[in-house]
Amino acid sequence: MTGVPASAAGGTGRPAPGGKLGTAAVPQAGLWNIANILTMVRLLLVPLFVVLMLMDGGYDPVWRAWAWAAFAVAMITDVFDGHLARTYNLVTDFGKIADPIADKAIMGAALICLSSLGDLPWWVTGVILGRELGITLLRFVVIRYGVIPASRGGKMKTLAQGTAVGMYVLALTGPLATFRFWVMAVAVVLTVVTGLDYVRQAIVLRRAGLAEAQAAAAVSQAASEAAEK
């Protein structure tokens, strides 16, 4: 759940206390709103998913089906909580922090469980989790220069990852087991390609920010020298 409340974009033009024109106070969304509740539900689903996934050694088709249901609900809530937060001005500091944690937690738990059971190579788990954590850290590093927006490729990557991991959670056999391999291959390719694109955007953003800062410093220095004369 990320975004900026629409009401924060500008003032209302109404008189502020004291008779002066000012910006009316924007009421902050409370912690217990529907968007945050969905995020909390997703966090609670992580341990439940792990328990269901590993029941009876982790290979029982029935328990794996229940684990898939928990994973599917978590993925669905990920779509709806962000949409609700942006649409109904329910963005909170808690949501900004908890939402990405919940996203990484459910995906990380699924990948680690699958690899520990031998269903998915560890290098796949390493590539996906390494990319997710690396890009998250990269966003924080360059946030002083600007925000790297979510791209269409990034959304496709998320969809591909969720679909592929969900298919691996299910105890599929035959042609479907072969098909899920190719879905995962597409997810891995999108993971790497979009990750490299985010790195490129971060470099461009940092260069632009540094150039702007240098230009502002030059203008300030020139103004200071002019004032001294």
User: For residue 111, is pLDDT > 60?
Assistant: yes
**Does residue 16 lie in a domain region?**
no
140-178 burial, b at 16+ Cβ within 10 Å, e below that, comes to eebeebeebeeeeebeebbebbbbbbbbbbbbeeeeeee
> Which of 13-27, 75-89, 119-133, 157-171 is predicted least confidently?
13-27
The pLDDT, as a whole number, for residue 74 is: 92
Q: What is the pLDDT of residues 114-152, one digit of tens each?
A: 999 999 999 999 999 999 999 888 888 888 887 777 778
Does 113 lie in the same domain as 156?
no
The pLDDT, as a whole number, for residue 8 is: 38
DSSP E strands in the chain: the ranges are none
For range 62-90, the mean pLDDT:
86
**Residue range(s) defining the domain that contains residue 102:** 31-119
Token pair for 53: 């996934």
Domain count of the chain?
2
pTM for the predicted model, two decimal places? 0.77
Token pair for 55: 């029941």
**Does residue 24 lie in a domain region?**
no
